[in-house]
Amino acid sequence: MKTIKVLVVDDSAMMRRVIKEILQTDNEIEVIGVARDGEDALKKDVELHPDVITMDINMPVMDGLTAMLRIFEHHPEVQVIMLSSLTQNGALTTFEALELGAFDYVGKPSGTVSRDLHVVGKELIAKIKAAALSKKRRRPKLSKPFPVKKSDITDFKNVNKVVVIGVSTGGPGTLMDILPELPADLDAGIIVVQHMPPLFTASFAKRLNDNCQIPFKEAAAGERVIQGQGMVAPGGVHLVVKKNNAGECMVRLTHLPEGKLFTPSVDVAMCSIVEIFGRRTIGVLLTGMGSDGADGMVAIRQAGGMTIAEDESTAVVFGMPRAAIERGGAAVIAPSYTIATEIIKAVNRIQ
């Protein structure tokens, strides 16, 4: 059996040891070397030619982001998983790394030196395996829309159509391909459910807001779902939509149901939204491991709504879209660079 060759890069000797111990628990992974900083990582990559690199972000001599870009110059097919601190600064650097080619990230639970890294050990192993299986793809880029001034939030009308987008591994980069292409006057509200830690979602929503024609924010309990506004489900809780006594569609945040593999769950959000909007729901399922969102897509399609799944040709990980397609939940299957167009067509088709 061919093992996955991994290079571990971290400036902390303890972290290098802990990461190596975690990875050695899986017989499909072989840690072929460790590096103490970005400059050392460049040398070790040339010597060892790994399949996957786990890369710390904050390091002396050369930081992880710079090292990743330098490594890609001579070893473009290698996959890099960033290990980042769960802070606002960590989030911003992580998103930049993802947009520049990192496969995914794993958050260090308790700071730069996390003695409890074992709590995310299964996640790290799963992402290394997914990275090794994934082909390195360049998505065709559409030209960005001409910047427009976002309307003040009080200008927006109550919503009668909702686009709900589910995404996981590879999501931030894919969403940045799609959401900036949506026009400011889109006749629908948008809810994005991205598997992401709690401290990352607010920063990600701000990044989307800075790059999209439609305003985006992190969803908060009690907010109305509004036409022409985008919301990102906060990490650590499920987002559901309920109607209040005035008939307005409101965001609710809950820890129920318990036992879901991901919080926020795409299935939980999609099923609550289609319960209210029925055929006026557009479900979109993008790259990600597992099957979260597949049942929600089936429910939307059965209710007469529109469903769009990302095609394997662009999906960083073809897990979630594949599950939706196999269960009959995808009416349209499209590469990421045409999904914005498919969303606009679906919204305009619904009267």
292 is catalytic: yes
DSSP 8-state secondary structure symbol assigned to residue 181:
G
CB atoms within 10 A of CB 114: 21
The token pair that represents 18 in the structure block:
């802990």
Provide DSSP, 280-314.
Answer: GEEEEE-SBSS-TTHHHHHHHHHTT-EEEEE-TTT
Residue from 45, 51, 134, 195 carrying the catalytic annotation: 195
Query: CA of 249: how far to CAs of 102, 157, 230, 273, 350, in Å?
Result: 37, 12, 14, 9, 18
Residue from 37, 267, 292, 295 carrying the catalytic annotation: 292
**What is the rounded distance in angstroms from the CA atom of residue 87 to the CA atom of residue 81?**
17
Q: Name beta bridge partners: 158.
A: 226
Residue from 85, 168, 203, 272 carrying the catalytic annotation: 168
Query: CA of 152: how far to CAs of 122, 181, 215, 281, in Å?
Result: 44, 20, 9, 25
C-alpha dihedral sign at 119, 124, 125, 127: positive
168 is catalytic: yes
Using the structure block, give the residue that is written with the tokens 């998505």. Answer: 139
74 is catalytic: no
Which of the residues are catalytic?
168, 195, 292
